[in-house]
Amino acid sequence: MFSHKRARRRSRFPQKVAFWALMMLTLVTMLSAVAPENGLSPIVLKTEALAFTPKEFYVARVVDERADKKAVAHIIPAPAPGKAPVATAIPVDLQGGGLQAVQRFISKGIPANENLRPIIITLKEFVLKESPAENGRVQGQAVTSMKFELQGEGEVIPLTEYKGGVRYNRPASQVEAVEPALRQSLTGALAWFNKWIEENASTNPRLAKGINVIFTDYTSASAADTVFYSPDRPLNWNDFTGSPAKPSKYAAAVFPGFAYGGRSEVVNGELQIILDLKVYVLQSSSWVKPDSRDNYSLNHEQKHFDIAKLVAERFKQKITPAILSVQDYNSIIQYHWIESYREMNQLQEQYDNETQHGLNKVAQEQWNKKIAEELGNL
């Protein structure tokens, strides 16, 4: 029985040796996996509450467009005791990677209040570089470059860009100065944007929280060569001052059109677009034969003018906040004006064809009623 116990004890010893050897090998492997190749550990960017609380924005997303995403800093390491200062900077990244560290810093420093404007920050540059200075010291510069955009409904609206940073001069042994410089550079960019958006929130069209379209009708007294549409001022034969370019089989001709002028302003955070609509007839382009100055013919020409007014009113109904973009409302309005002008020309041609330029009195009466009803409804 005694020899049996000794045999069991001897059998355990090789197992223990194998177990501890395996553990030591695993530990060495783990240490070698996390040990930095250049001898410097990744920089831990400290998170902190910033000195300001944004009232106009929150950061919805951070995009990384840095040219070098491998290392944020290029640091001159502290010299070994009794050794001369090192002259070559070594690349070192932030712990977890540059983008992740910046995202974490912003999320901790700026509350995500989704009642405010969602801002996209594009990180174009975030880097720190050091070089040897006089008297065995080290000089460094941290640079932060950002692009700020507003996340609108279905569009991204460019706002502004920033580039700045900090400079410092440190003893060669105090590598700890690197992290505060990076943090200060990043904080400076965010503080600058916070000030910018507070100053622009109530006046910058790109920051408008909504759009309102206001139409006005230009009904001033007729200018030289121009009659502006007004229900109180129908056409008369004195408005037809031109002559046909060549002999014509028609009794008269009129050339109406419509245009708009506009301006915009931001009122209480809302973009107000004021459009002044002008429906007009050019007198020098309109003419009548001497023997055709009767009321029936004048009514036919007045309906051409009414058609221009009708299409202008349809144009008004198209231009609503729902189709406009804060970033590019001008081109949208211009596009719909061109389409409406094309519609007007097609309708004028249809009117002349169906009424046979006024010769078909039945069709003329039908058009008279149709135009009057739609104008009344609009």
Clarify whether residues 164 and 229 are in a common domain. no
How far apart (Å, rounded) are the C-alpha atoms in residues 42 and 187?
20
User: In this structure, what CATH number is given to the domain that contains residue 184?
Assistant: 3.40.50
How much is the pLDDT for 308?
A: 98
Structural domain boundaries enclosing 330: 207-377
One digit per residue, the tens of pLDDT, for the chain of length 378 reads 323 333 333 444 344 444 434 444 343 333 333 334 456 789 999 998 899 999 999 999 999 999 999 999 999 999 888 777 778 999 999 999 999 999 999 999 998 999 999 999 999 999 999 999 998 899 999 999 999 999 988 889 999 999 999 999 999 999 999 999 999 999 999 999 999 999 999 889 999 988 999 999 987 766 788 999 998 899 999 999 999 878 888 999 999 999 999 999 998 889 999 999 999 999 999 999 999 999 999 999 999 999 999 999 999 999 999 999 888 899 999 999 999 999 999 999 999 999 999 999 999 999 999 999 999 987
Angle at 351 between CA 223 and CA 359, to 5 degrees: 100
Neighbours of 195 (CB within 10 A): 11
How much is the pLDDT for 23?
A: 42
Instruction: Mark which of 201, 233, 250 sits at the end of a domain.
Output: 201
Neighbours of 11 (CB within 10 A): 9
Residue 224: DSSP 8-state: T
Instruction: Mark which of 176, 201, 226 sits at the end of a domain.
Output: 201
Instruction: Mark which of 160, 181, 201 sits at the end of a domain.
Output: 201
Which amino acid is present at 331? S
How far apart (Å, rounded) are the C-alpha atoms in residues 251 and 292?
6
* Tokens encoding 104: 């974490």
Clarify whether residues 166 and 276 are in a common domain. no
Clarify whether residues 172 and 212 are in a common domain. no
180-183: long-range contacts at Cβ-Cβ below 8 A with a sequence spacing of 24 or more?
A: 181/128, 181/140, 181/142, 182/43, 182/45, 182/72, 182/73, 182/94, 182/126, 182/128, 182/142, 183/45, 183/46, 183/48, 183/105
- Asked whether residue 361 is assigned to any structural domain, the reply reads yes
Clarify whether residues 245 and 349 are in a common domain. yes
Task: Kindly report, residue by residue over 261-297, the tens digit of the pLDDT.
Answer: 999 999 888 999 999 999 999 999 999 999 999 999 9
How much is the pLDDT for 316?
A: 96
Clarify whether residues 141 and 229 are in a common domain. no
- Asked whether residue 14 is assigned to any structural domain, the reply reads no
How far apart (Å, rounded) are the C-alpha atoms in residues 352 and 28?
94
- For 280-302, letters b (16+ CB in 10 Å) and e give bbbbebbbbeeeeeeeebbebbb
Length of the chain measured in residues:
378
This prediction's pTM: 0.71
Give residue for tokens 């007198």: 283
Clarify whether residues 227 and 194 are in a common domain. no
Clarify whether residues 259 and 145 are in a common domain. no
Give residue for tokens 């929130």: 201
Clarify whether residues 132 and 163 are in a common domain. yes
* Tokens encoding 371: 């135009």
DSSP string covering 23-55: HHHHHHHHHHHHS-TTS-PPB-------S---S
Whether the Cβ atoms of residue 278 and residue 260 lie closer than 8 Å to each other: yes
Closest-CA residue to 164 (of 199, 190, 138): 190
Clarify whether residues 329 and 219 are in a common domain. yes
